[in-house]
């Protein structure tokens, strides 16, 4: 079902007209109300009246997470605090969190956009939706929550954690839709099998997963283990939270809500647009945000745009699954390495579990990368010769994929830390 066909199936021409009007109004508002943007525009000699076409977007300055931190907590709000009805913040893994505010109007838009994403992933008012994202300052839980209520689904706001209780509720409340991070979905799936529960006795039909990058192989694994249709969705607190983009049931890229977000894909080094369809860093300009509009926000997420029409009928452009983050990218021996590349290889090799960790160390003057891979019990307790064969296979495949040699260590099932939120895949022990 398409939640708002009057927008989601607009022709390119109508959409671009709407985008331009909304861009002009956003640029005016930030110039009037956000000192940070007024200063930046003045420095670049930009008058809001200069924005006459969508092409003029590229004259505007970028916004980074650093800019937001420097204006902590409320410096980039475009409305007075009395207009703000909700405040969220990003996790702040590297120091100061970024704080985002919402007006009543923003919350209405947000729930509507999340409703679009949920509808695209198969959810209707007949569904029972278990939201196993964390509730709190993180936008995931509350973001999905209000969208699900907007659709009229029955919402179970269970939040993350306590996996066995999640499964008991899933059984008793006849949950049809699971929402969480993809890595947590796998933890839930494994626990269901450990508890000896027949997955076919559950009512699960759909899963909507987001908040971290995952591979196509991981989707297949989740679908098979949980017997669901799994779709990917994308959002980030600096821009809104979940609801920026989501996959339809064609499972072929995430439709971006382009009437609310104007996107570009740039080369993170040169800051110039990449060739159409090439991979680069996603940059987002909000078109309707009242409290916290952002101009050309550098997401650090790597993706590419898919402009071919989608069979579902939505006309919004799609982005491919996020392939990694520019700041997740490891540079090892001068080569760019993304955790997602390693994950994709591991999924193809029989006997390995989808849990892994990448450790980077500097030995003397050389970087060394070790991939810890969980293996099934049979293999872990198998004879040395067979273990060595598996190690060699993994090493060979990883070296071919990455272009550098890699150490591989097999570890027993459940050795690596399990996450109820975003999985920690990389441990970089190097000191720069």
Q: Of 81-89, 197-205, 304-312, 400-408, which part binds Zn ion (CB under 5 A)?
A: 304-312
| 137 lines the binding site for Zn ion (CB under 5 A) | no
Q: What angle, rounded to 10 degrees, do the helices at 163-172 and 182-194 form?
A: 80
Q: Is the Cβ of residue 169 or residue 310 nearer to Zn ion in the bound state?
A: 310
Q: Is the Cβ of residue 217 or residue 312 nearer to Zn ion in the bound state?
A: 312
Beta bridge partners of 428: 360
Closest approach, Cβ 252 to Zn ion, in A, equals 7
Q: Is the Cβ of residue 245 or residue 345 nearer to Zn ion in the bound state?
A: 245
| 248 lines the binding site for Zn ion (CB under 5 A) | yes
Q: Is the Cβ of residue 18 or residue 312 nearer to Zn ion in the bound state?
A: 312
Q: Which of 310, 323, 344, 426 binds Zn ion (CB under 5 A)?
A: 310
Q: Of 86-94, 162-170, 310-318, 375-383, which part binds Zn ion (CB under 5 A)?
A: 310-318
Closest approach, Cβ 411 to Zn ion, in A, equals 40
Closest approach, Cβ 11 to Zn ion, in A, equals 16
Q: Is the Cβ of residue 199 or residue 312 nearer to Zn ion in the bound state?
A: 312
Element housing 178 (H / E): strand 177-180
Q: Contact, 351 vs 408, CB < 8 A?
A: no
Which residues touch 244 (CB under 8 Å, ≥6 apart)? 113, 234, 235, 236, 256, 257, 261, 284
Q: Is the Cβ of residue 120 or residue 158 nearer to Zn ion in the bound state?
A: 120
Q: Is the Cβ of residue 120 or residue 410 nearer to Zn ion in the bound state?
A: 120
Binding mask 354-373 for Zn ion (x = CB under 5 A): --------------------
Q: Of 168-176, 180-188, 244-252, 409-417, which part binds Zn ion (CB under 5 A)?
A: 244-252
DSSP H helical ranges for 152-262: 163-172, 182-194, 216-226
Q: Is the Cβ of residue 24 or residue 252 nearer to Zn ion in the bound state?
A: 252
Q: How many other C-beta atoms can be found within 10 angstroms of the C-beta atom of residue 216? A: 12
Q: What angle, rounded to 10 degrees, do the helices at 216-226 and 182-194 form?
A: 30
Cα distances from 369 to residues 157, 354, 363, 418, 428, in angstroms, run 40, 18, 10, 21, 9
DSSP labels, 43-93:
HHT--GGG--SGGGGGGSPPB-HHHHHHTTTTTT-SS-GGG--EEEE---T
Q: Is the Cβ of residue 169 or residue 312 nearer to Zn ion in the bound state?
A: 312
Closest approach, Cβ 316 to Zn ion, in A, equals 8
| 312 lines the binding site for Zn ion (CB under 5 A) | yes
Q: Of 138-146, 203-211, 225-233, 311-319, which part binds Zn ion (CB under 5 A)?
A: 311-319
Q: Of 87-95, 103-111, 240-248, 290-298, which part binds Zn ion (CB under 5 A)?
A: 240-248
Closest approach, Cβ 35 to Zn ion, in A, equals 41
Closest CA to 340 of 139, 183, 187, 225: 183
Q: Contact, 53 vs 20, CB < 8 A?
A: yes
Closest approach, Cβ 312 to Zn ion, in A, equals 3
Closest approach, Cβ 5 to Zn ion, in A, equals 13
Q: Report how far residue 144's alpha carbon sits from residue 115's, in angstroms, rounded to the nearest whole number.
A: 8
Q: Of 241-249, 355-363, 387-395, 416-424, which part binds Zn ion (CB under 5 A)?
A: 241-249
The token pair that represents 427 in the structure block: 């441990």
Closest approach, Cβ 257 to Zn ion, in A, equals 13
Q: Is the Cβ of residue 191 or residue 252 nearer to Zn ion in the bound state?
A: 252
Closest approach, Cβ 248 to Zn ion, in A, equals 3
Q: Of 99-107, 146-154, 212-220, 245-253, which part binds Zn ion (CB under 5 A)?
A: 245-253
SS3 331: strand
| 411 lines the binding site for Zn ion (CB under 5 A) | no
Q: How many other C-beta atoms can be found within 10 angstroms of the C-beta atom of residue 69? A: 18
The token pair that represents 133 in the structure block: 């994202």
SS3 383: coil
Q: Report how far residue 421's alpha carbon sits from residue 6's, in angstroms, rounded to the nearest whole number.
A: 35
| Residue numbers at the binding site for Zn ion (CB under 5 A) | 248, 250, 310, 312, 314
């Amino acid at each position: 079902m398409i939640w708002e066909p009057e927008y989601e199936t607009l022709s390119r021409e109508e959409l671009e007209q709407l985008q331009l009007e909304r861009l002009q109004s956003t640029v005016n508002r930030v110039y009037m109300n956000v000192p940070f943007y007024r200063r930046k525009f003045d420095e670049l000699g930009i008058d809001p009246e200069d924005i006459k076409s969508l092409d003029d977007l590229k004259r505007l300055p970028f916004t980074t997470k650093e800019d937001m931190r420097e204006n902590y907590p409320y410096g980039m709000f475009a409305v007075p605090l009395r207009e703000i009805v909700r405040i969220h913040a990003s996790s702040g893994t590297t120091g100061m969190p970024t704080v985002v505010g919402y007006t009543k109007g923003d919350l209405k838009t947000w729930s509507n956009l999340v409703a679009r994403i949920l509808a695209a992933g198969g959810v209707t008012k007949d569904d029972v939706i278990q939201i196993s994202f964390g509730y709190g300052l993180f936008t995931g839980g509350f973001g999905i929550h209000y969208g699900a209520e907007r659709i009229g689904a029955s919402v179970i706001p269970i939040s993350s954690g306590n996996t066995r209780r999640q499964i008991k509720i899933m059984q008793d409340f006849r949950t049809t839709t699971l929402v969480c991070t993809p890595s947590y979905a796998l933890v839930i799936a494994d626990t269901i099998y450990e508890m000896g529960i027949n997955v076919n006795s559950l009512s699960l039909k759909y899963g909507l997963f987001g908040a971290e990058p995952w591979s196509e192989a991981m989707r297949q694994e989740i679908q098979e283990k949980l017997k669901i249709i799994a779709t990917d969705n994308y959002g980030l607190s600096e821009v809104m939270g979940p609801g920026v983009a989501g996959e339809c049931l064609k499972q072929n890229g995430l439709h971006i809500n382009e009437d609310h977000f104007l996107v570009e894909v740039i080369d993170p080094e040169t800051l110039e647009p990449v060739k159409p369809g090439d991979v680069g860093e996603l940059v987002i300009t909000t078109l309707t945000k009242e409290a916290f509009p952002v101009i050309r926000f550098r997401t650090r997420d790597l993706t590419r745009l898919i402009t071919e029409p989608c069979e579902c009928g939505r006309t919004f452009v799609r982005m491919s699954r996020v392939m990694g983050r520019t700041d997740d990218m490891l540079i090892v021996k001068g080569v760019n390495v993304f955790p997602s590349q390693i994950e994709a290889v591991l999924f193809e090799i029989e006997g390995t579990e989808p849990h892994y960790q990448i450790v980077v160390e500097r030995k003397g003057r050389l970087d060394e990368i070790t991939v810890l891979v969980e293996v099934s019990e049979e293999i872990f307790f198998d004879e040395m010769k067979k273990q060595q064969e598996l190690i060699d296979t993994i090493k060979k495949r990883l070296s071919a994929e990455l272009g550098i040699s890699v150490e591989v260590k097999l570890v027993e099932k459940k050795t690596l830390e399990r996450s109820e939120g975003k999985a920690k895949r990389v441990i970089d022990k190097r000191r720069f």
